Homo-oligomer: A and B are copies of this chain.
Amino acid sequence: MIHPAIEPALKECAAFVEDALNEALPEVQGPQGRLFEAMRYATLNGGKRIRAFLVMQSGRQFGVDRRALAHAAAAVECVHAYSLVHDDLPAMDDDDLRRGKPTAHKQFDEATAILAGDALLTHAFALLAGQETHTDPHVRCELVARLAQASGANGMVGGQMMDIDAKGQLTDIGQITRLQRLKTGALISFAVDAGAIMGKASAGARHALSNYAQELGLAYQIADDLLDVEGDPVQMGKAAGKDQRAGKATFVTILGPERARAQAQLLADQAAAHLEVFDEKADLLRGLASYVVNRRA
């Protein structure tokens, strides 16, 4: 089911972006040392880097330089890492474990976790505004504006707010879809769009990639909900059954696991189908759609 080239390509990309992040977030001695340590702890942790992969592969369709793409990919991963640090806080989802390690506020303390998240978010914009990301300042401004839109009150943060407000009260699939389009979908869409913006893609290509990203984002989320019910906590590096204990309505609690699995697969197929305008260079993007719904962690 999973394209054989996907996992090696993800691993290669993760190592490449890890290097970029390692450079972007240096080890620092002295009074701010602990803050940088927390930022590195939250970010350099061997995640799958699916968002970074999307930036890299999307940009590849338009021949964008890999090192330039790595800056944008690092920015997306900084935003993703910050969102996890803040979402894990006691006042939010109150999680102790993330990717098999203590969450940032457990490893450090709450104040450090809040500030490290703030600094990671801030650093993402510094990365996008830097000349290494693109020689054309119009492109850099568009990246900044799009990331702000995707991650702010009308994007990721808005989705997290809805999720916290709605705990247990959502009953229909439309509401959950809207929530997840913001909470996880918006940043995934940004990642795909970032490569297209950097490649000055045509409106048609951007539209196709945008449709791909929307379906992929939902498929990814449904797979996540399924893993929460059926996944192996050791492989996932985090507790399973969290949604159920929190009384949270998810795609799985509403559709049941069978229909949810079928829906995720359908969305993955649709996502891949949106890429028909692209040539074989898009095979890894196509394959990623299957990967996200068939992954074990």
Contact = CB atoms under 8 A, between A and B. Distances in A.
Identify whether the interface residues of A are mostly helix, strand, loop, or mixed: helix
Given A92-B114, A118-B86, A137-B137, A158 B125 contact: no
Interface string A131-149: 0000001101110110111
Contact of A89 (B114, B129, B152, B160): B114
B32 A161 contact: yes
B157 A118 contact: yes
Contacts of A138: 137
A34 B161 CA distance: 8
B119 A145 contact: no
Nearest to A92: B111
Contacts of A166: 31
Contacts of A129: 141-142, 144-145, 148
A180 B237 CA distance: 40
A91 interface: yes
Nearest to A140: B141
A162 B118 CA distance: 15
Contact of A110 (B91, B123, B125, B140): B91
Contacts of A61: none
A276 interface: no
A85 to B, nearest CB: 10
